[in-house]
């Protein structure tokens, strides 16, 4: 473990000051990735007893479906409960029920897209920080050429090249997983939203029987 810390410390020393924000961005991005892996699933947004509700609706037992769905606390269940409640009051208009369902489900999209913009920002900022580190490293390289002492020039040249390459590589190492995760979760999020919308349409169709 001590050897790992020593390697990290040496890497930070070679990469210069930009390594600190890059490491922070890397930690943040992996926390966000793990959070999305755990929470971005269709089962998190659809109730487990949805099939039971559909069976009750097929039997025209809207009151029973309302009682079953009311036991759940998720957004989709609350939306269905509002629709069933309105239906039981005598409002059978597809357009009005659809509007109620759409309004109640509007909170799902922000939950599905949670943290994605931050991942995108990290993917954009990390290469820029790496570029900044590259520039500061090149400044040291040019400083080395201005040095009249050969030993000092060699030291500055080595440090400058090391900082430029390390910073650039680290910036890409941080950005690539964040960008890849952003597009993967964007696709998964779209699939979740489409599934929720499909289930909502199925429920409305069952109410029209």
* Tens digits of residue pLDDT in 52-80: 989 988 888 888 888 888 888 888 888 88
Is there a single domain that holds both residue 124 and residue 27? yes
Q: Has residue 6 been placed in a domain?
A: no
Q: What pLDDT is attached to residue 45?
A: 87
CA–CA separation, 201 and 209 (whole Å): 13
The residues, any chain, with a CB within 8 Å of residue 161's CB and separated by 6 or more, are: 137, 141
Average pLDDT over the chain reads 84
Is there a single domain that holds both residue 101 and residue 136? no
Distance of CA 46 to the CA centre of its chain: 19
Is there a single domain that holds both residue 67 and residue 167? no
CA distances to 1, 2, 17, 129, 164 from 7, in Å: 10, 9, 16, 21, 18
Is there a single domain that holds both residue 120 and residue 168? yes
Q: What is the pTM of this model?
A: 0.81
Whether residue 24 contacts residue 124, with contact meaning beta carbons closer than 8 Å, is answered with no
Q: What pLDDT is attached to residue 1?
A: 56
Is there a single domain that holds both residue 25 and residue 59? no
For the chain, the domain total comes to 2
Is there a single domain that holds both residue 83 and residue 32? no
Q: Has residue 4 been placed in a domain?
A: no
Is there a single domain that holds both residue 135 and residue 188? yes
Q: What pLDDT is attached to residue 127?
A: 93
Token readout for 194 is: 């489409």
Whether residue 56 contacts residue 163, with contact meaning beta carbons closer than 8 Å, is answered with no
Whether residue 188 contacts residue 154, with contact meaning beta carbons closer than 8 Å, is answered with no
Q: Which residue has the higher pLDDT, 179 or 96?
A: 179
Is there a single domain that holds both residue 131 and residue 177? yes
Is there a single domain that holds both residue 86 and residue 171? no
Q: Has residue 104 been placed in a domain?
A: yes
Q: Has residue 10 been placed in a domain?
A: no
Residues 157, 163, 164, 169, CA torsion sign = positive
Q: Which domain holds residue 61?
A: 46-110+200-207
């Amino acid at each position: 473990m001590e050897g790992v810390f020593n390697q990290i410390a040496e890497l930070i020393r070679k990469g210069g000051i930009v390594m600190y924000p890059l490491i922070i961005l890397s930690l943040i991005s992996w926390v966000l990735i793990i959070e999305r892996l755990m929470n971005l699933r269709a089962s998190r947004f659809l109730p487990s007893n949805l099939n039971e509700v559909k069976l009750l609706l097929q039997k025209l037992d809207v009151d029973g479906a309302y009682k079953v769905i009311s036991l759940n606390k998720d957004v989709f269940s609350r939306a269905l409960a509002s629709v069933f409640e309105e239906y039981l009051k005598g409002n059978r208009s597809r357009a009005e029920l659809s509007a109620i369902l759409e309004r109640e489900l509007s909170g799902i999209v922000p939950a599905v897209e949670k943290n994605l913009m931050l991942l995108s920002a990290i993917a954009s900022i990390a290469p820029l920080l790496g570029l900044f580190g590259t520039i500061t490293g090149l400044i040291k390289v040019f400083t080395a050429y201005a040095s009249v002492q050969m030993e000092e020039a060699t030291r500055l040249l080595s440090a400058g090249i090391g900082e430029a390459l390390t910073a650039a590589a680290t910036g890409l190492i941080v950005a690539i997983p964040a960008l890849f995760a952003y597009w993967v979760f964007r696709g998964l999020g779209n699939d979740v939203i489409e599934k929720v919308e499909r289930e909502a349409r199925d429920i409305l169709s069952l109410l029209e029987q």
